[in-house]
Structure 1
Amino acid sequence: MQERLKKAIDNLIKSNAFYAYILMGSQFIEGNVKNISISITKNGDVLFVYNPVSVATKSDIMVEGLILHELMHIINRHYLIHPKDKRDKAVWDIAKDAAINQFIPQLDAFSIPLNVLIEEGHGTDNDLIFVGPPIDMLNKTAEEYHDYIVDQFLKRGRYDIETIAERLPDSHKMESDLPVEMLLEVTEQKIGKAFNLFGGELPSGVRQNIELHLKKPVINWETAIRKFVGLSQRGEKYSTPLRPNRRYDDQPGWRYTYLPRICVIIDTSGSIIEEEMNQFVSEIDAIARQEVPLKLIQIDKSVTFIGDYKPGGWKSFEVYGGGETDLQPAVDIAETRFRSEGIIIFTDGYVDLPKVSRRVLFVLSKKHNSEFYIDARKIYGNVYVLE
């Protein structure tokens, strides 16, 4: 059986130099998995765990597809997604597969579009279900497909999603002895080298995803946000057996998540160069991935855009502006209309320092105005101005 798996790896190595670089040194072990699962060793090598009985029933080209399927989950950082509960995990598992199967020809050929799967409320009679994106929603992220699924099922009032998820090709459990931080470091290092050497050979959609991921956020937003704002906005309601139900003794109780009210202001004036704007968007996406709902305001001399930002929004992100800069109108909207607890302002500092009565965090580009930096630290404090 391992010979078949090695042959599949060899075929992938010959077909694409990018995947070849990542797959060099791959190992295989038998395990209690559906088909094939993936792990990462301490030295950054890929370890595939396989079910010999299940793999024996698959064609060679399907085995190649399943290996690439697992690898694409790693490349897309899907192991960083943390579902809220069992049902949410089912939604995420389907969304992750829709995001990657469209780039794997042998799986895409057998995929059921998400809209068809939702309309029917169940899958085919096959042992496995391969999920693809709706025909009018190609090349999106797992986050976008997750929102699509939730929206569609809420409209239809049906939630047979867990039964469908059980028939996906893997369980989407990332097993590794490495802490998440170290896992991210070793995988990004290998993927980054492979991309620098052979990224030009990848499909455009895959290439765009990797480009974003490799632009690592400079700031640890998980820590920054925790220190920056309090959690006071009531969010979603969820059931929990850890809390007794006041009305029914045999039923779980309810809790609410509490979310920070954060508004991000991005300076889109003409002094912001493309490199700085790309870094700003990368950082904003990193904030959104902390499961924090964000209001986003773009501004040059006046407000040019107001809306929500969700993870993966960089793909459809458009910059409005390009003139002079005045940050104050955006700050006023954040404080009065959104009543934001915290305001994060991305700017190069070539602008007058705004007056902010709420908590504010200034994130300055590398080529920022040093006078703005000094003034902001003097007025708002050193910890609220980041370079």
Structure 2
Amino acid sequence: MAPDPDRVADAGRALDRTKLLAARLRAAGAQPYLASALYSLTVVPSHGVPTMGVDKHWRCYVNPAFVDATPVHELAAVWVHEVAHLLRDHHRRATLVAPEIRHDHHRLNVAQDCEINDDISSLPSNALRPAMFGLPDGQMFEQYLPGIPATPEAPECGSGAHGRPMPWESSDGAKVSPVEADAIRRQTAQELRAHVKSRGRLPAGWKRWADEILEPTVDWRRALTGAVREAASWASGAVDYTYQRPSRRGAAVPRVVFPSLRRPMPRVAVVVDTSGSMGTDELRAVLGEVSGVLRAVGIGRNRVTVLSCDADVHAVRRVNTVGDVVLAGGGGTDMRVGIDQALRAAERPNIIIVLTDGYTPWPDARPGNVRVIAGLVGETAPEPPPWIESVHIPLGEVTATGQ
């Protein structure tokens, strides 16, 4: 929550636990489906935290002066706000955001608060809401990020929200393990669904969250990382002999040079569909994510070539950053042209990643010993041939995280 200078003036007083716990009881009574999660938080008094904040171990840090100055009904709402960061797994989701945004934990925290606060009615008047930035209610924080300006002053909800450890967080005391946290999330989601069946009313954001917990969709970033890592491991296993670095066994036989085994680092070609059906913002967003995937797998920039392609190949460049990519094109769609161009390169790739909406012809068969992975952008993208590994990329998620 955003600090209020008038409320957090006295840093020397003791924590009024009776008032604080009465507020938690009120929150659990108003939203009983959150009771298990609320009572899993461990209270830690702290004069360093501006108001209230959480770490990823489910410790809730509380400023005593903030408790004294805040009405019980508002404290109850803050309890719900802080536990929502943990239930919605904000600190893990923050690690999946594009690197150029991830370092700005203030901006992350603002977007996360916007995701939470549109479902909480009794928060303090200065609580951040999407409307303050001209944004609609009901979206995920990843979708809000592009509309949130970079700011040096922002709410400070702790590493349980944005993922960055804060000076006032402690390594001591009770903590909830990741396995226990997942169990709490699932139990809360089940209680939330039971509440809907008995009473029929629930904030939209909580209902969407429960559906995702109980009927999870595949995280496309993990799926793409796994596919690239497996392909890279497969390519690296194609060992060969080389005389560039003679074998040490040659020392035992004078005047005879033995070759050594070489395990190559794979080369990657990224073929980008720039036809009229693909938006530039979406393409740059996806490219940003793919760049992060390649770094995570350990494939360096100098081994990646990006080709912009619609019905013809418009730009073939080896790039240093995503911003250097030329997204030319805008006509028809034929990814066979881009794949063929990639294969004709002087340094033939081991892996070809094709980013497309799927409405394209494909080669009739796998091109030799090259692995092809299709990143299918959009919910309606048709499946490629079975010899192509496919990963579905929802547009709503990627546009926010990759900019």
The normalised TM-score by structure 2 is: 0.49
Q: Any conservation in 1 of the 2:270–2:355 contact (CA below 8 Å)?
A: no
Identical aligned residues as a percent? 14
For residues 137 and 289 of structure 2, the distance between their equivalents in structure 1, rounded to whole angstroms, comes to 24
For residues 135 and 211 of structure 2, the distance between their equivalents in structure 1, rounded to whole angstroms, comes to 24
Return the match for 1:101 from 117, 127, 132: 117
* Equivalent position of 2:157 in the other structure: 170
Distance 1:62 1:331, change over 3 A: same
Residue 342 (str. 1) matches residue 344 (str. 2): no
Distance 1:226 1:197, change over 3 A: same
* Equivalent position of 2:70 in the other structure: 58
Q: Deviations over 1:184-221 (max 9, x none)?
A: 63343233322332255321233224423443345753
Return the match for 1:5 from 20, 25, 33: 20
Aligned-residue CA RMSD in angstroms?
A: 4.9
Give the letter aligned to residue 145 of structure 1. Answer: Y
* Equivalent position of 1:227 in the other structure: 229
* Equivalent position of 1:189 in the other structure: 186
Q: Tell me the secondary structure at the aligned position of residue 106 of structure 1.
A: coil
Higher strand share: 1
Residue 216 (str. 1) matches residue 232 (str. 2): no
Return the match for 2:37 from 22, 26, 36: 22
Return the match for 1:75 from 87, 95, 98: 87
* Equivalent position of 1:252 in the other structure: none
For residues 338 and 111 of structure 2, the distance between their equivalents in structure 1, rounded to whole angstroms, comes to 32
For residues 269 and 145 of structure 2, the distance between their equivalents in structure 1, rounded to whole angstroms, comes to 22
Q: Any conservation in 1 of the 2:190–2:210 contact (CA below 8 Å)?
A: no
Q: Tell me the secondary structure at the aligned position of residue 48 of structure 1.
A: strand
Give the letter aligned to residue 4 of structure 1. Answer: K
Tell me the CA shift for residue 225 of structure 1: 4.0
Distance 1:51 1:330, change over 3 A: farther
For residues 23 and 194 of structure 2, the distance between their equivalents in structure 1, rounded to whole angstroms, comes to 22
Give the letter aligned to residue 189 of structure 1. Answer: R
* Equivalent position of 1:89 in the other structure: 105
Residue 206 (str. 1) matches residue 245 (str. 2): no
Q: Any conservation in 1 of the 2:77–2:120 contact (CA below 8 Å)?
A: yes
Q: Any conservation in 1 of the 2:37–2:188 contact (CA below 8 Å)?
A: yes
Give the letter aligned to residue 90 of structure 2. Answer: H
Q: Deviations over 1:144-168 (max 9, x none)?
A: 1111225xxxxxxxx5x11x22xx2
For residues 95 and 49 of structure 1, the distance between their equivalents in structure 2, rounded to whole angstroms, comes to 21
For residues 334 and 185 of structure 1, the distance between their equivalents in structure 2, rounded to whole angstroms, comes to 43
| Structure index of larger Rg | 2
For residues 7 and 338 of structure 1, the distance between their equivalents in structure 2, rounded to whole angstroms, comes to 65
For residues 88 and 334 of structure 2, the distance between their equivalents in structure 1, rounded to whole angstroms, comes to 33
Q: Deviations over 1:6-42 (max 9, x none)?
A: 111111111122222432454423234222223466x
Q: Deviations over 1:232-288 (max 9, x none)?
A: xxxxxxxxxxxxxxxxxxxxxxxxxxx994879xxxxxxxxxxxxxxxxxxxxxx97
Tell me the CA shift for residue 140 of structure 1: 1.5
Q: Any conservation in 1 of the 2:114–2:144 contact (CA below 8 Å)?
A: yes
* Equivalent position of 1:280 in the other structure: none
For residues 222 and 338 of structure 1, the distance between their equivalents in structure 2, rounded to whole angstroms, comes to 20
Greater RCO (CA < 8 Å, at least 6 residues apart): 2
For residues 171 and 186 of structure 1, the distance between their equivalents in structure 2, rounded to whole angstroms, comes to 22
For residues 337 and 136 of structure 1, the distance between their equivalents in structure 2, rounded to whole angstroms, comes to 42
Q: Any conservation in 1 of the 2:51–2:66 contact (CA below 8 Å)?
A: yes
Tell me the CA shift for residue 227 of structure 1: 0.9
Distance 1:207 1:90, change over 3 A: same
Q: Tell me the secondary structure at the aligned position of residue 60 of structure 2.
A: strand
For residues 354 and 17 of structure 1, the distance between their equivalents in structure 2, rounded to whole angstroms, comes to 57
Tell me the CA shift for residue 224 of structure 1: 0.6
Return the match for 1:36 from 23, 32, 52: 52
For residues 73 and 365 of structure 2, the distance between their equivalents in structure 1, rounded to whole angstroms, comes to 62
Segments of 5+ residues of structure 2 without an aligned counterpart are 1-15, 166-170, 233-267, 274-284, 293-332, 344-350, 376-382, 392-403
